[in-house]
Structure 1
Amino acid sequence: MKINKNFLDLEASYLFSTVNKKTREYIAAHPGADVIKLSIGDVTKPICPIVIDAMRKAVDEMADEKTFRGYPPEQGYDFLREKILEWDYKKRGVELKIDEIFVSDGAKSDCGNIGDIFATDNTVAICDPVYPVYIDTNIMNGRKNNIIIMPCGVQTGFLPELPAESAPVADIIYLCFPNNPTGAVAPRSYLKKWVDYANAHHSLILFDSAYEAFVTEPDIPKSIYEIQGAKTCAIELRSFSKTAGFTG
């Protein structure tokens, strides 16, 4: 039996595990310290009452033969997909079909598993700093030497620059806005440049909008599909964990 050799290229410890370990050690050594955690995006307050009420109702339904349910539909329940369509997209002027919406077990697993669809020789453009799942999953899929790092510091306004014409084409492009971890947001004109690039080079944008609920300015897109041309080059990944303050 042989293991996947690509796993040997991963860091010895998952970033957030390392941060949590160091945080616990610091708190133990400084019990009176007021620690502000800026690592994993977890909740800090109780779940809102409407969610608790819905969970209680769902548990009661599972105890009633008339409303009991087993496995859900493979694409997700229609009532949920219809609400996602109505609240997350139609209100932003985005026209999608219900069969274009897939409900999964979470954005994190989608970020990782979706890479299984694509060939290992694709080049992958990833921002720096970055949510570590993007890097780790591509390393596990054998793309360690095909990763293009896009610096996102003060010098770039915390936004990644498009690859130069002379640079290798980015086949898969990870974009996250509002960004994790910098908090940067992307104006429409900026996202349009990425959409045009992807369509021109037959590339795919994986757009992580887990933090879209924090966008309050009307001129800042919450969805990549608000940009003309995005439907032919982008897959959007969303999450309820940040919107509803309910992780896990």
Structure 2
Amino acid sequence: MVQRNPNMAKLRAGYLFPEIGRRRRAVVEQNPDAKIISLGIGDTTEPLAPNITSGLVKACQGMGSLEGYSGYGAEQGMADLREKIAEVLYGGIVKPEEVYVSDGAKCDTGRLQVLFGKEATVAVQDPSYPVYVDGSVILGQTGGYNEEAGQFDGIEYMRCDASNDFFPDLANLKRTDLIYFCSPNNPTGAVSTKAQLKELIEFAKKNKSILIFDAAYSAYIEDPDLPRSIFEIEGAREVALEINSFSKMAGFTGVRLGWTVVPQELQFEDG
């Protein structure tokens, strides 16, 4: 028989959000009149906007005609969409050719691990989105699960809570190849300031690390003084890439559409 990837056995009971969903359903069954505030997966609750659904219908119907049919799309995503992402969402601080359109931020987060391999070392915020850790475990970048600590060996956990204003103590953080950072953070909601992100960029530069910046919740930032993109910070283009999604800003959790920005200045050690 074919053997499974041994790293899969390191994972705990399973992906966190299905477990939260099971527990939520159990509570609802026992308390059918209770109003449940779910702190599980960040799903949407409202329907798509009419202009979005009408556009989807038009595109689908077009596939049934010779004039509207198209086969495989561009490997990097539709050029006009990449141009609009760069222009409208980033105000021109990134280039269309640096935008890679995908089927969602979660998928990009997992696939990026393959680019770096199992020898890459990883740092994550604590608490953080579980995909960062799970993807690292599956690829073999970690040791086993430490029951006493409640963490995986081989991962640097950056404590981010009220005691440190939800920003890690970088002075005492070990050097890693990859740093996962989410702002606004999932699950705490904390938003890092420009000064804090500048500190993070300088830390990555000093240690020759790559910062994987998750900006999936950036659309919720209303304060103009708080950065929505890591590329608003000087020096970020040399050490960071950014993942984002239409899931939160447009309710696309069921549609699946996201993107990753990889600036041209960001390079592997060998080019």
TM-score, with length taken from structure 2 = 0.87
Which residue of structure 1 lines up, in the alignment, with residue 42 of structure 2?
Answer: 41
SS at match of 2:124: strand
State the distance in 2 between where 1:49 and 1:163 align.
49
Aligned residues: 243
Q: Map 1:92-171 onto structure 2 (within 5 A).
A: 94-145=92-143, 146-164=154-172, 167-171=173-177
* Pairwise CA RMSD: 1.1
1:185 aligned to 182, 187, 191, which one? Answer: 191
Gaps of 5+ in 1: none
State the distance in 1 between where 2:93 and 2:161 align.
34
- 1:191, 1:227 within 8 Å by CA — same for their partners in 2? yes
Letter in 1 for 2:30: A
SS at match of 1:219: coil
1:5-44: per-residue Cα shift (whole Å, max 9, x none)? 1111001221111100000010000010011111101011
State the distance in 2 between where 1:104 and 1:244 align.
15
- 1:163, 1:169 within 8 Å by CA — same for their partners in 2? no
What stretches of structure 1 move > 3 A for 4+ residues in a row?
A: none
Alpha-carbon distance, 1:163 to partner: 4.5
1:88-143: per-residue Cα shift (whole Å, max 9, x none)? 112xxx52222111001110011111011113222211011111100100001111
Query: Which has the higher mean CA deviation after the structures are superposed, 153-162 or 203-212?
Result: 153-162
State the distance in 1 between where 2:169 and 2:244 align.
24
Letter in 1 for 2:190: A
State the distance in 2 between where 1:98 and 1:204 align.
21
RCO comparison, higher one (Cα < 8 Å, 6+): 2
Q: Residue 59 in 1 paired to residue 57 in 2?
A: no
Query: Which has the higher mean CA deviation after the structures are superposed, 73-82 or 110-119?
Result: 110-119
Q: Residue 23 in 1 paired to residue 24 in 2?
A: yes
1:195 aligned to 182, 193, 201, which one? Answer: 201
- 1:163, 1:170 within 8 Å by CA — same for their partners in 2? no
SS at match of 2:246: coil
- 1:120, 1:141 within 8 Å by CA — same for their partners in 2? yes
Compare the two structures and name the one with the higher strand fraction: 2
State the distance in 2 between where 1:220 and 1:56 align.
37
State the distance in 1 between where 2:166 and 2:95 align.
33
State the distance in 2 between where 1:41 and 1:67 align.
35
TM-score, with length taken from structure 1 = 0.95
Letter in 1 for 2:169: E
Q: Residue 240 in 1 paired to residue 246 in 2?
A: yes
Letter in 2 for 1:81: R
Letter in 2 for 1:178: P
Letter in 1 for 2:140: G
State the distance in 2 between where 1:119 and 1:47 align.
38
SS at match of 1:134: helix
